[in-house]
Amino acid sequence: MSIVLRVNTTTKEIIREELKEEYRFLGGRSLIARVLTDEVDPTCDPLGAENKLILCTTLLAGTTLPMAHRLSAGGKSPLTGGIKEANSGGTAASLLARHGIKMIILEGLPQTNDWYILHIQKDGSSQLVDATDYVGLNNYDLAAKIQERFGKNVGIISIGLAGERGYRNSTLQLIDASTGYPSRAAARGGLGAVMGAKKIKAVVIERAANPYEFPYADKERYEAVRKKYIQRVLSSPRTESMQKVGTMSMIDFTSTVAALPVRNFSGQFFEQAEAIKSKAFVERAFIGGGRNKEGCQPGCIVRCSNRFHTKDGEYLTSGLEYETVALCGANCGIADFDVIARLDRMCDDLGVDTIETGATIAVCMEAGKISFGDGEGAIALLQEMIDGTEFGRLLGQGTEAVGKALGVKRIPTVKGQALPAYDPRSIKGLGVTYATSAMGADHTAGMTLGPGIDPSKKDFQVERSRQSQMVAAVTDSFTCSFGWGELNNEEILPEIMASLYGGEWTYGQIMNIGKETLKLERAFNQAAGLTEVDDCLPAFFYNEISAIDTVFDISAEEMQELFNY
């Protein structure tokens, strides 16, 4: 799979290229880091002509390996001012792979206010289609209108009004494979605004008439290791848990160790935690015809997703996950799944990140705009973002902008990006990841929970974060993180690479892809003007004692040791 579509939004020219040979063993996050390093000035305006929006598939895309078709989006982030890669499930990556398309690069800046759809047709040709009739639509109405015109089976990567308006908290939304709705998000860092600046309302991908066939180096060898991998995934207790509950099971743990964010990361226990734990979630999710065991991308065998209906049986949202329930729920003092699901649907429709939005609403609560626990007030604030009121447009710029405007002292951000749903006083390795990752605060950049280390103690947390960040960079280059666990070992992973690409591969050789990716990302950020001062958590995490009688106590100097590879 080697096709690159380079779309110049200034001239409207689309050039079809072959992937560079030096990019052959890169995909997803690693490919984005390399292309941005090679082609984008780190000091550029994120919404200007020099920035590029990259959409690409993984190293395993085009194969029959389950969960290999995740889409990565990348560019210079309007939210953090540094490098950004955000990835998502959905149908788009699988459809791109069937066309043999590895990467789409959107570059330049339009000289007019004309909007376009990038349309990839079933014969593999591509064109820019006038999108005048689609401007002003949010993602659900937009997807319905696109499907009415181009067919139900197209893949869609789209932006809502948030991306059109340049909200720094804007997402790219993708069609969910199970529901057909735009409920999957490449969410973090404001990349929807980059796509909006280039006046691309959506990318529409038809099913390939003549599907691309991956050139396996050794198909028989591949099939043997693929079978072994699938057996390991299906027999894993983690898979069984993910199918029953999904990511929501995490609340059962975080709520007991004061890691669940509560009322703007106060560090306290959530007195209403039972109402949002996994047992309560499963009971509520099946009311009105909701279901679990859904796959967000074609061929998924973990099937950790879900669909959530109103109590009257109307579809509301899909993929209601831990991060959303934690940030839009407990972090706002809200313990009502119906309110949280409504917020999730509104975020997907507008095209904003639920993590950033939940943190932003909590900062408003901290400032006294509304009270903690006020679900209807939270919905009203999100409605202001949709309506584009003066305050709503401020909300769209993210937690840090809102916190500073309201004079709030406790603003839970790193490099301008809100912390995800784990308090770093309780899980200190993640605090290191939040502080040092080039992506800004991001749990997927290096999850440190695991056996052998007490997460609330500082010992060995820098080392664990370093290793976790390298593994995460590889994961985001290969597959979905929930399929990664059974892939990430010396028996399976090198064998897959050898059967796909030829030669002999070692586990260390593959992990080196992650190390080099981290180095490229950090160099980009340094050239963009970010310094060691940006590699730290907000002061209140160091000063305010949490409910388990601890503060974040890993110094800036100790965290800098992470970069000693």
User: Percentage of the chain with pLDDT > 90?
Assistant: 95
Please give the residue that has the higher pLDDT: either 72 or 485: 72
Q: What is the pLDDT of residue 565?
A: 83
Which tens digits make up the pLDDT trace of 269-315?
Answer: 999 999 999 999 999 999 999 999 999 999 999 999 999 999 999 99
The CATH number for 9's domain is 3.60.9.10
The answer for residues whose C-beta is within 8 angstroms of residue 228's C-beta and 6 or more apart is 492
283 lies in the same domain as 372: yes
* Distance between CA atoms of residues 349 and 360, nearest Å: 18
Tell me the sheet residues that pair with 185: 173
Residue 527 to residues 59, 359, 523, 536, 559, Cα–Cα distance (Å):
27, 29, 6, 18, 20
Q: Are strands 200-205 and 116-120 parallel, antiparallel or unpaired?
A: parallel
In a domain, residue 520? The reply is no
| Token pair belonging to 148 | 């009415």
257 lies in the same domain as 174: no
The answer for residues whose C-beta is within 8 angstroms of residue 476's C-beta and 6 or more apart is 28, 29, 30, 70, 72, 85, 87, 444
pLDDT above 60: residue 224? yes
166 lies in the same domain as 279: no
Q: Angle CA(179)–CA(161)–CA(168) in degrees, nearest 5? A: 105
166 lies in the same domain as 28: yes
287 lies in the same domain as 190: no
pLDDT above 90: residue 326? yes
258 lies in the same domain as 162: no
pTM over 0.95: yes
Range from 94-103, 216-225, 447-456 carrying the lowest mean pLDDT: 447-456
The pLDDT of 515-524, averaged and rounded, is 98
- Ordered alpha helix ranges (H), 69-115: 92-98
Which helix (H) or strand (E) segment is 257 a member of? none
The pLDDT of 15-37, averaged and rounded, is 97
Identify the band that residue 348 occupies on the pLDDT scale cut at 50, 70 and 90.
very high
What's the mean per-residue pLDDT of the chain? Answer: 96
The pLDDT of 437-459, averaged and rounded, is 95
124 lies in the same domain as 267: no
Identify the band that residue 241 occupies on the pLDDT scale cut at 50, 70 and 90.
confident
Domain boundary, last residue among 421, 443, 460: 421
272 lies in the same domain as 132: no
In a domain, residue 509? The reply is no
In a domain, residue 97? The reply is yes
The DSSP annotation for 455-499 comes to TTS-TTHHHHHHHHHHHHHHHHHHS-HHHHTTT-STTTHHHHHHH
The DSSP annotation for 335-362 comes to --HHHHHHHHHHHHHHTB-HHHHHHHHH
Dihedrals φ, ψ of 483, to 5°? Answer: -100, -5
Q: Are strands 291-294 and 305-309 parallel, antiparallel or unpaired?
A: antiparallel
The pLDDT of 472-486, averaged and rounded, is 93
Q: What is the pLDDT of residue 485?
A: 87
Domain boundary, last residue among 149, 179, 205: 205
49 lies in the same domain as 185: yes
Q: What is the pLDDT of residue 483?
A: 87
In a domain, residue 473? The reply is no
Burial of 209 (0-12, 13-18, 19+ CB in 10 A): exposed
Are 420 and 426 a contacting pair, CB within 8 Å?
no
In a domain, residue 430? The reply is no
pLDDT above 60: residue 481? yes
Domain count, the chain: 2
Tell me the sheet residues that pair with 204: 119, 156
Domain hosting 68: range is: 3-205
* Residue length of the chain: 565
Domain boundary, last residue among 403, 421, 439: 421
3-class SS at 187?
Answer: coil
Which tens digits make up the pLDDT trace of 180-202?
Answer: 999 999 999 999 999 999 999 99
290 lies in the same domain as 199: no
In a domain, residue 313? The reply is yes
148 lies in the same domain as 265: no
Which tens digits make up the pLDDT trace of 58-77?
Answer: 999 999 999 999 999 999 99
Q: What is the pLDDT of residue 62?
A: 96
Q: What is the pLDDT of residue 1?
A: 57
Identify the band that residue 521 occupies on the pLDDT scale cut at 50, 70 and 90.
very high
Which tens digits make up the pLDDT trace of 359-387?
Answer: 999 999 999 999 999 999 999 999 999 99
Helix axes 337-350, 354-366, angle to 10 degrees: 120
The CATH number for 341's domain is 1.10.569.10
In a domain, residue 333? The reply is yes
pLDDT above 70: residue 83? yes
> Edge-to-edge strand order for the sheet containing 83-88?
14-18, 3-8, 101-107, 53-56, 71-76, 83-88
In a domain, residue 179? The reply is yes
396 lies in the same domain as 265: yes
CA-closest candidate to residue 60, choices 305, 297, 247, 235: 297
